[in-house]
A = this chain, B = another copy of it.
């Protein structure tokens, strides 16, 4: 642990978030779920969308971009599909609600799908994948964002980094892939910039359109590299099209016209293997066999092979037992928010 690090229990982090959220207009039940989702991100080792993002989230609440009182409203329903207006409520609550709806439909009909529009940033995408596997379901979801990445060949941000989640139940809970369409996040590039270091691999473009590992040049133009170059560029476009067109919500270029990123569009899909005629025990066994084959891969010197979410499961266990590592300065600033508002 570094000197400017503390370890805070999961419970203490939740309580701290709850008190600040309740002072900012959240009902006790909404504050509890919101706090849980923020704290789980930090618990799993993703503080960028947990504790470290919490002050920014409260700012958006205070400035009215996120309405803690908003309730999602259903605008269309079939047995396997529903369209919901998020009414600019807290994005993580809307997203959690949408995945619950998709799970419930899947439990009844085998498949459930939700188009959610007019919602806000869902913070850590992976949370909704873990939610699906905790319900024993295969989950697929994605969101669009404001334009923050050039299309392949382009010299200005036109695409969103549109995080994508695929989640599959296994014997030990699940495998959860949670990835944005940029090779690296701007947050990670900013961290490298502060350290005065280059990224390990090409991370974006300089002003002349050359691939570069230098975070400063990339950040200057918001020219993050789509992962896999033309391939991530194409995938980002498709995720934006499906999420905005199926939900009837804003597309990336429309979101980009707003002062702050809000009123975004999301897509949730759930499949319940048990309802699809599969034996769930055998499903989990076969999933584990796939992971075992992967784990047995020969590796290059000093390299390891991991499955998506493996590190999250490890962090979760360790941080639940020993406390969640937090940057002292950020934690203390959040504690001050709790005092200011109480």
Contact = CB atoms under 8 A, between A and B. Distances in A.
Contacts of A278: 245-246, 248
B300 A208 contact: yes
A244 B179 contact: no
Given A156-B298, A238-B168, A245 B273 contact: yes
Interface in A71-114: 75-76, 78-81, 83, 109-111, 113
A301 interface: yes
Interface stretch (A25-33, A44-52, A286-294): A286-294
A331 to B, nearest CB: 30
B76 A276 contact: yes
Contacts of A208: 300-301
Given A245-B273, A300-B154, A166 B238 contact: yes
A303 interface: yes
Given A244-B290, A245-B286, A276 B235 contact: no
Contacts of A286: 244-245, 251
A242 interface: yes
A336 to B, nearest CB: 37
Interface in A209-234: 209, 227-229, 231-232, 234
A237 B309 CA distance: 12
A179 B238 CA distance: 12
A110 B150 CA distance: 33
A201 to B, nearest CB: 7
Majority SS at the chain A contact face = mixed
Given A183-B231, A286-B251, A156 B303 contact: no
Interface residues of A, number: 78
A68 interface: no
Given A251-B290, A297-B150, A297-B154, A238 B177 contact: yes
Contact of A183 (B110, B228, B235, B251): B228
Nearest to A211: B201
A122 B171 CA distance: 31
Interface string A285-319: 01101100110011111011111100000000000
A109 to B, nearest CB: 6
A252 B156 CA distance: 39
A325 interface: no
A166 B231 CA distance: 12
Interface of A: 75-76, 78-81, 83, 109-111, 113, 115, 138, 140, 150-156, 158-159, 166, 168, 175, 177, 179, 183, 201, 205, 208-209, 227-229, 231-232, 234-235, 237-242, 244-246, 248, 251-253, 269, 271, 273, 275-278, 283, 286-287, 289-290, 293-294, 297-301, 303-308
What are the nearest 4 A-B pairs in CB distance?
Answer: A209-B300, A227-B228, A228-B228, A153-B303
Given A153-B305, A154-B300, A248-B278, 13 more contacts: A83-B277, A138-B246, A150-B297, A151-B294, A151-B305, A155-B298, A158-B297, A166-B242, A183-B228, A209-B300, A240-B290, A244-B290, A251-B290
